[in-house]
Amino acid sequence: MPYFDAASSAPLHPVARQALQASLDEGWADPARLYREGRRARLLLDAAREAAAEAVGCRPDELVFTSSGTRAVHSGIAGVLAGRRRAGRHLVVSAVEHSSVLHAAATHEGTGGTVTEVPVDRAGSVAVEAYADALREDTALACLQSANHEVGTEQPVAEVAEACRAAGVPLLVDAAQSLTWGPVPGDWSVVTGSAHKWGGPAGVGLLAVRKGVRFAPQGPADERESGRAAGFENIPAIVAAAAALRAVRAEAAAEAPRLRALTERIRARVPALVPDVEVVGDPVRRLPHLLTFSCLYVDGETVLHELDRAGFSVSSGSSCTSSTLTPSHVLRAMGVLSEGNVRVSLPLGTPEEDVERFLEVLPGVVSDVRRKLGAPEAAARGTESASLVVDSLGKLCPIPVIELAKVIGDVPVGGTVTVLADDEAARLDIPAWCEMRGQEYVGEEPSERGAAYVVRRLS
């Protein structure tokens, strides 16, 4: 039963399991105590810190363990913003950061801070110049992920770090998706990570803050972990996390090219096997194990459900698969199709056969879903009129796009179709469909309910 969602959470690495079990006997006591159980726990904690720091590329006294990657991000952002309060209250983030970063930014705004979101291109990458231009005199902190969690695009972290350094602004890098593959390149100031993404246990994040970065921990005081991570240290899990990081790094040299070839195979073959598909994310500067594509005329939830029935666990950024019923902010920022979105992220050791089997199963799954939804197989031909209005009010993604596709052939080249829709996903998916189909997206017009999206037929 292939699990293809390593980017959400990786299964526990066997080395982590061994380390966890071994340290349950030695690592349960309070490492601040002076008796032998406490001293043993302290030794384990110190050794884990050394190992993790080496893998991150920092000094052990620059690294603390938090209770999760989310907590590392929240504490890291809050700590630098408070520590550099005198510099100002401006925060820079990319538009495609993980929600933990964007939620921390929203909290900062809620208390009177200002935030600049640097946009990304259609591949999901920030431009170094645009990022540098966002830095201001009063910028306290800049945040940029090492690689995107939904589409795998690697960000130009080293170059942005250089620009930040020149501007005197610390750069926090959320490296949750990339620490498996290597340390963060360049002259960063803060790095955060999450152990369960690299095969460690849940309950462990890491926060590395370079010496010299002004940092003022927020929240009630707690003397553990240099005052940067409140709560009793979770030493067995920390030991397992550090052991897992070393283990996956040892495998990364061989696994990175192997998984890159497998994901490249999916990227190349899905558009050939499944009509009306857009593979998204940078084709070259990307994580080795992760790829994402979107399929027109299907809804993500049904595709996920059918793939699960066929034995494949994958993820989606489609609106219908999110609790908020809005499409992924990442796909939205990239301006790519969100409907029928599928993310495949391969755990270490994924066998080639599993990928081949996935490629066998996928076309049937997509075409079944399309058939059930009545999606167009070939362009329908009817009476041509200069303009048409399609009423998709009250209908959820992907119906508005399916109805648009059904009637576009009914207007002459140069004619327009206006789609009335109130599902938020349509705002993203109708322009994305136009881009894929070579039609012109004219724009959005006000409407009594929802919005009216105008499309001009070009071909």
**Under the rule (CB under 8 A), what is the footprint of a copy of itself?**
1, 3, 5, 8-12, 17, 20-21, 24-25, 28-30, 32-38, 67-71, 74, 100, 103-104, 106-107, 194, 196, 201-203, 205, 219-223, 230-237, 301, 304-305, 307-308, 312-315, 321, 323
CA distances from 138 to 81, 135, 167, 189 (A): 11, 8, 10, 17
Catalytic option among 164, 320, 397, 434 = 320
For residue 143, indicate whether it is catalytic: no
User: Shortest approach of a copy of itself to residue 175 CB, angstroms?
Assistant: 16
- d(C-alpha 424, C-alpha 405), whole Å: 18
Which of 25/448 has CB closer to a copy of itself?
Answer: 25
Q: Are 277 and 297 in contact (CB under 8 A)?
A: no
Q: Which residue has the tokens 């970065």?
A: 213
Which of 95/442 has CB closer to a copy of itself?
Answer: 95
Partners of 363 in beta bridges: none
Angle at 66 between CA 62 and CA 69, to 5 degrees: 105
- d(C-alpha 114, C-alpha 93), whole Å: 11
Closest CA to 206 of 72, 399, 391: 72
CA–chain centroid gap for 346, Å, is 14
Which of 230/454 has CB closer to a copy of itself?
Answer: 230
Q: Are 143 and 169 in contact (CB under 8 A)?
A: no
User: Shortest approach of a copy of itself to residue 404 CB, angstroms?
Assistant: 28
Burial pattern 64-86, b for ≥16 Cβ within 10 A else e, equals: bbbbbbbbbbbbbbbbbbebbee
The total of other beta-carbon atoms located within 10 Å of residue 418's CB is: 17
Which of 30/50 has CB closer to a copy of itself?
Answer: 30
Which of 235/451 has CB closer to a copy of itself?
Answer: 235
User: Shortest approach of a copy of itself to residue 77 CB, angstroms?
Assistant: 8
Which of 35/86 has CB closer to a copy of itself?
Answer: 35
Which amino acids are annotated catalytic?
320
